[in-house]
């Protein structure tokens, strides 16, 4: 997918994925995994104003496929150090904000080039720290490259805004200014792409940032922060800060010099951050901006006029890709009564073919879930689901040392069931019967979330109706509901799924900018 060319840069194109069935690509990944393995257990420091610092003790991140294995050792940054990070980033903001946009854009493109040349390395760290299989890791790194390339082009646009109406005797212009210090809080499930997307958007716009990665995937965050410095971003423009989300997160969000928070994660943490950021602190002279992208309970509607094979393929890919740990994952299939039984039969057969195993070994469809806490929570939902519906496939843990779970299907869950309403964030799919297309749409909309959704039907009128009534930020017709591509599918949800910021879309950078109108009287 290419977009129209912008000043001086070739049109944007998505980074292609490599095929690991080819020997050369396979070898590159095996070598990268071996190199990453040789670095397992290394200690990483906080980075504040260009200084590498120790915290109040350390914590470790683990390989979810092999939890006895430590991936990285990271600092427990203190509340005092969190304050210092915001104050240093604020002190440097004036200088950084005046850097010409063209220089920041060049740095962003350097970052894209470096990531491209080190794709296998970043994939390897995601395989080891986040439990992504090779293909999912490749998609994550490619998306991070896309964000750098795409936001570089979008920043070119905002650096050269459209001319305004010129009043007689005046020169009238609108210029876009950065906001200030931003706290970047990503989740662990796209530990590179989402972290990179939020960070590079903020930096491209001329803000300084504090990156606070998830404590499950801090090593990937540390590697990316280092890459940004190698790409030319001044060390003072980026702080890298690890520690307890709850303790240092609150300190970073509530600091009076924090100007905005860019968060992606769960509904509850997002709402908490939104509330905390709204409370003005002593000495604070602005309303903090909160960009919050949160959870989902995404549905795929399989209509009576759907191609059953395509629908089953789309549901399986959306429900079990990365073990269902995507905000866009299909967790509800809403299937017309006319093909409900046939759908379940085909689904059961397809799910039985999914292979679960260590992410590091090429060829498994599913790896582990992120940690033992997640596995216990998901198993709890499966037990609830067995009471709320009918178990069709899976239903428990899968063998192995890692946090493995069987791909699970629970049929006949009604709209009031917890497994129909609550985000499970694991390989658990609920199937619900719909009595006609309008009923299917009602069911699909019957949650507080509104992130992604898909409809399988051959009927043009039903497609029109879905476009009118299916209330989700990312709607897909006759395709799966995961795998949004930068530039083609700007991403962000409605209702409790977030502020609909549309990452990877033409308006995204506006959230990291403020516009100033200047009218100069001609002498």
Select the residue whose beta carbon is closest to ligand NAD and give its number. 249
> Which residues 6+ apart lie within 8 Å of 126 measured at CB?
132, 136, 137, 140, 141, 191, 192, 217, 220
CB of 213 to ligand NAD, least distance (A): 6
Contacts 24+ apart (CB under 8 A), 117-121: 118/227, 119/18, 119/145, 120/28, 120/29, 120/31, 120/32, 121/32, 121/35, 121/36, 121/223
Q: Is the Cβ of residue 144 or residue 434 nearer to ligand NAD in the bound state?
A: 144
3-state secondary structure 435-496: CCHHHHHHHHHCCCEECEEEEECCCHHHHHHHHHHCCCCEEEECCCCCCCCCCCCCECCEEC
The footprint of ligand NAD (CB under 6 A) covers 185-190, 194, 212, 214-215, 245-246, 249-250, 253, 264-266, 269, 272-273, 293-296, 327, 423, 425, 451, 491, 493, 497-498
User: Are residues 265 and 249 in contact, defined by beta-carbon separation less than 8 angstroms?
Assistant: no
Q: Is the Cβ of residue 156 or residue 284 nearer to ligand NAD in the bound state?
A: 284
Active-site entry in 121, 143, 293, 423: 293
Strand partners, 515: 176
CB of 106 to ligand NAD, least distance (A): 28
CB of 508 to ligand NAD, least distance (A): 12
Residue with tokens 């003790």: 57
Whether 148 is a known active-site residue: answer no
CB of 92 to ligand NAD, least distance (A): 22
Q: Is the Cβ of residue 110 or residue 430 nearer to ligand NAD in the bound state?
A: 430
Q: Is the Cβ of residue 194 or residue 481 nearer to ligand NAD in the bound state?
A: 194
Q: Is the Cβ of residue 96 or residue 263 nearer to ligand NAD in the bound state?
A: 263
CB of 76 to ligand NAD, least distance (A): 12
User: Are residues 81 and 374 in contact, defined by beta-carbon separation less than 8 angstroms?
Assistant: no
Pair type for strands 170-178 and 513-521? antiparallel
- DSSP letter for 165, please: P
Residue with tokens 């958007």: 201
Q: Is the Cβ of residue 154 or residue 242 nearer to ligand NAD in the bound state?
A: 242
CB of 4 to ligand NAD, least distance (A): 26
- Angle, vertex CA 499, rays to CA 326 and CA 142, nearest 5: 40
Whether 230 is a known active-site residue: answer no
CB of 425 to ligand NAD, least distance (A): 5
Give rounded-to-5 percent helix, strand, coil for the chain: 40, 20, 35
300-336 in b/e burial notation, b at 16+ Cβ within 10 A?
bbbbbebebeebbbbbbbbbbbbbbbbbbbbbbbbbb
Q: Is the Cβ of residue 14 or residue 264 nearer to ligand NAD in the bound state?
A: 264
| Helix boundaries (H) for 54-161 | 79-97, 101-117, 119-130, 134-159
Q: Which residues are catalytic?
A: 293, 327
């Amino acid at each position: 997918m290419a977009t129209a060319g912008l000043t001086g840069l070739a049109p944007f194109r998505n980074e292609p994925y490599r095929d690991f069935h080819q020997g050369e690509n396979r070898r590159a990944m095996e070598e990268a995994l071996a190199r990453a393995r040789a670095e397992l257990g290394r200690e990483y420091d906080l980075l504040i104003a260009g200084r590498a610092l120790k915290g109040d003790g350390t914590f470790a991140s683990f390989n979810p496929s092999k939890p006895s294995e430590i991936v990285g050792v990271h600092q427990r940054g203190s509340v005092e150090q969190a304050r210092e990070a915001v104050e240093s980033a604020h002190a440097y903001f004036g200088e950084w904000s005046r850097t010409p946009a063209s220089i920041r854009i060049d740095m962003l493109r350097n970052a894209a080039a470096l990531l491209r040349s080190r794709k296998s390395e970043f994939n390897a760290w995601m395989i080891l720290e986040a439990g992504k299989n090779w293909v999912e890791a490749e998609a994550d790194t490619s998306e991070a490259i896309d964000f750098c390339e795409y936001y570089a082009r979008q920043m070119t646009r905002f650096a050269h805004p459209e001319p305004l109406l010129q009043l007689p005797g005046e020169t009238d212009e609108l210029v876009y200014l950065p906001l200030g210090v931003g706290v970047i809080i990503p989740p662990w499930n796209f530990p590179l792409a989402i972290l990179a997307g939020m960070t590079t958007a903020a930096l491209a716009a001329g803000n300084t940032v504090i990156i606070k990665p998830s404590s499950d995937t801090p090593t990937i965050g540390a590697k990316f922060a280092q890459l940004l410095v190698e790409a030319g971003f001044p060390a003072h423009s980026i702080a890298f800060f690890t520690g307890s989300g709850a303790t240092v997160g609150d300190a970073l969000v509530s600091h009076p010099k924090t100007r905005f928070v860019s968060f992606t994660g769960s509904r509850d943490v997002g709402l908490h951050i939104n509330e905390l950021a709204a409370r003005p602190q002593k000495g604070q002279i602005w309303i903090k901006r909160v960009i919050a992208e949160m959870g989902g309970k995404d549905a795929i509607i399989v209509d009576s006029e759907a191609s059953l094979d395509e629908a089953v393929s789309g549901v399986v890919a959306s429900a079990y890709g990365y073990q269902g740990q995507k905000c866009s994952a299909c967790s509800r299939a809403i299937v017309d009564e006319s093909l409900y039984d046939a759908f379940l039969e085909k689904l059961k057969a397809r799910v039985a073919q999914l292979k679960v195993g260590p992410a590091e070994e090429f060829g498994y469809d599913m790896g582990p879930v992120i940690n033992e806490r997640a596995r216990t929570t998901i198993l709890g939902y499966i037990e609830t689901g067995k009471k709320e519906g009918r178990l069709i496939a899976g239903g428990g843990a899968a063998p192995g040392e890692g946090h493995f779970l069987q791909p699970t299907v629970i049929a006949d869950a009604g709209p009031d069931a917890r497994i129909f309403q609550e985000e499970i964030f694991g390989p658990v799919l609920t199937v619900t019967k719909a009595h006609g297309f309008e009923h299917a749409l009602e069911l699909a909309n019957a949650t507080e979330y509104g992130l992604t959704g898909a409809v399988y039907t051959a009927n043009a009128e039903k497609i029109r109706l879905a476009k009118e009534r299916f209330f989700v930020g990312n709607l897909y017709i006759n395709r799966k509901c995961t795998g949004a591509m930068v530039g083609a599918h700007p991403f962000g949800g409605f209702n409790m799924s977030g502020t609909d910021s549309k990452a990877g879309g033409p308006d995204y950078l506006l959230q990291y900018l403020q516009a100033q109108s200047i009218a100069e009287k001609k002498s």
